[in-house]
Amino acid sequence: MSLKIRLTRGGAKKRPYYRIVVADARSPRDGRFIEKIGAYDPMKAKDSPERVILDLEKAKAWLAKGAQPTDRVLRFLDAAGVSKRPARNNPKKAVPGEKAKERAEKKAEKSAAPAEAAAE
């Protein structure tokens, strides 16, 4: 059984509140979980201490048992100094796609045509 340390959503519409839980990877996001180890309230200020509440001892114990944290939970654990989150790098993120390149070429051709006509 593979375990995940992940968020389950609660709260009202447009007012999210998340619990940090340990759950089987096959169970649904808001479904059955094994243990609640913390909470995350994104509506609070970023510097507020109540924004992320995490039981570090339980988190360390579950990590030792082989539970894999999701990316967001890994950010919280990294901020708390429990686990190290590797830096991500996507150099292709800002490169435009094929369609965008085609549109840019057409636009360049269109703007170049009047300039050539004026030069002649």
What is the distance between the alpha carbons of residues 22 and 10, in angstroms, rounded to a whole number? 16
> What number does CATH give the domain 3-80?
3.30.1320.10
- For each of the chain's 120 residues, which pLDDT tens digit applies? 799 999 999 999 999 999 999 999 999 988 899 999 999 999 999 999 999 999 999 999 999 999 999 999 999 999 999 988 888 888 888 899 999 999 999 999 888 877 666 766
Distances (CA, A) of 65 to 23, 104, 116: 13, 53, 70
- Please list, in sequence order, all residues whose beta carbon lies within 8 angstroms of the beta carbon of residue 45, skipping any fewer than 6 positions away: 51
Structure tokens at 82: 């429990």
* Per-domain residue ranges of the chain: 3-80
- Please list, in sequence order, all residues whose beta carbon lies within 8 angstroms of the beta carbon of residue 84, skipping any fewer than 6 positions away: 78
